[in-house]
Structure 1
Amino acid sequence: MRIWIFALTLAVFITPAIAHDVQPTGLVNIQASASVEVATDTMQAVIAVEAEHYDPVILAETINKKMAWALATAKPYSMVKVKGGQYSSHQKYHNRIFKAWRGTQTITLESKNSAKLGKLIGLLQKKLLIKSLRYHVSKEKIKSVNKTLVKQAIVNFKEQAQVITRGFDKSKYVIHQINVNTNNRRQPVYYAKSRMMADSMVAEAAPAQLQQNSSTIQVNINGSIRLIN
């Protein structure tokens, strides 16, 4: 169930009469906001292949084979978006003596079907390292919720404008300037970091156990009105 929360902050500043100020007098600054807590609907996993070898060519081949296996394993899961990451490597030293090359490559998995993605992660855990698991709100859901929040924030703004107008014994107001901010970042809810299940520890890969959470989406409106007698 969604829990709607409408937060409102008011800042009132009457513009002082300044001889050389070209702005009109009687300006009032107002801030209004509307927010809602929504359930996260998208799960994302970042999984990596990490290996070491003194020969960089063999190292790259080893990682490529594991990545090919991972992509082939993920292919039947059509509801999971798969995005490959860049390959990187660096030299490892001990007491200033070269020991090996270490390479890493990641893939990002994302799906709204957490059960399917959890099962796929369980399979990939046999050979790959889980760097992070998280839930977040999808862009589509944020866009849909923002439409409702913008309407409510506008109502809040107008209500405060009316209260201020009557409070200062003015007959009406006009909007001087207004800004609407819907820049909601997808706040992640982290589940785990850096997990790996060795082949010898499991006879059969088990689905990853994940729990959804909620995230707050907010729309802010700030602007100024001019009071008119």
Structure 2
Amino acid sequence: MDRRWWLAALLLIGWIVNAHVPAGAAPAEGEGSRVSFRVEVQREVTPDRMRVRMRATAEAEQPARVQNEINARMQAARRVLESSEGITVGTGQYRIHPVYRKERIIGWRGSQDLLLESGDFARLAEVMGRLQAQGLAVQEVSYLISEPLRRRIESDLVDEAVAAFRARARQLATDFGARRHTVIEASVSTGGHAPPVRPLLRAQALEAADAVPPVLAPGTRRLSASVSGSIRLAY
């Protein structure tokens, strides 16, 4: 076969293929412009739980005396807490260690932590003042959002974020002059920023006359929900 025959055959095949693709046909599935974006909604929430760490300390020449002083202060604290409802109580690290000077033991020092948590800030502040009068010192205070409140707020935020994502998708389709759009992927996430732990008082025992309840201001914590995804535009 000569070269002219092959050329004629190729032209015929091309004409047959083109005859099966009508002019103006829609692009195959998966084609079209893809746009990725992210939306986020936020809300300031007041923490509804407060957590306090207090400490009983003692120092003496003998470890047994240190232990007895710590135990006595913790027993006094327990009696205060027995009449205080709505406060979750726990104990933390109990430690006694020697005090050295020029590689010689000159005494002993010890401490035990008392952990308190409540949703009643006023009651907990009053109890903190009474415990200070028993010789305990406030080490730190932190604020947190309870799980029921967090779940409720995050559920609302997710609904708002999804609605915002859909609205943004419609707006982008309009801005790009597309006839329609399709969501091809999306992911939802939630988060929040915790306020820092706030030391309230010096880590030392206060005299009973100085045991004034501290001022507590939990501030707010920011919770958020976001939706990230992609849409495909059809023109």
Task: Please report the TM-score for the alignment, with normalisation by the length of structure 2.
Answer: 0.75
1:1-229 pair list within 5 angstroms: 26-126=33-133, 127-188=135-196, 190=198, 192-196=200-204, 198-199=206-207, 201-202=209-210, 205-229=211-235
Q: CA deviation at 1:118?
A: 1.1
**SS state of the match for residue 52, structure 1?**
strand
Name the aligned partner's letter for residue 84 of structure 1: T
The answer to whether the 8 A contact 2:50-2:119 is kept is yes
The answer to whether the 8 A contact 1:118-1:208 is kept is yes
Give the gaps of 5 or more residues in structure 2.
Answer: 1-29
Name the aligned partner's letter for residue 159 of structure 2: K
Name the aligned partner's letter for residue 210 of structure 1: L
Inter-partner Cα distance in structure 2 for 1:27 and 1:55: 75
In 2 relative to 1, CA 57–180 (structure 1 residues): closer, same or farther, beyond 3 Å? Answer: farther
The answer to whether the 8 A contact 2:70-2:110 is kept is yes
The answer to whether the 8 A contact 2:132-2:208 is kept is no
Inter-partner Cα distance in structure 2 for 1:83 and 1:139: 20
Query: Which stretch of the first structure deviates more once superposed, 147-156 or 179-188?
Result: 179-188
Inter-partner Cα distance in structure 2 for 1:53 and 1:197: 15
Name the aligned partner's letter for residue 118 of structure 1: A
**SS state of the match for residue 190, structure 1?**
coil
In 2 relative to 1, CA 53–170 (structure 1 residues): closer, same or farther, beyond 3 Å? Answer: same
Alignment RMSD (CA, Å): 2.5
Query: Which stretch of the first structure deviates more once superposed, 207-216 or 143-152?
Result: 207-216
The answer to whether the 8 A contact 1:137-1:187 is kept is no
Inter-partner Cα distance in structure 2 for 1:24 and 1:195: 66
The answer to whether the 8 A contact 1:32-1:220 is kept is yes
Q: CA deviation at 1:110?
A: 1.4
Task: Please report the TM-score for the alignment, with normalisation by the length of structure 1.
Answer: 0.77
Name the aligned partner's letter for residue 140 of structure 2: S
Give the gaps of 5 or more residues in structure 1.
Answer: 1-22
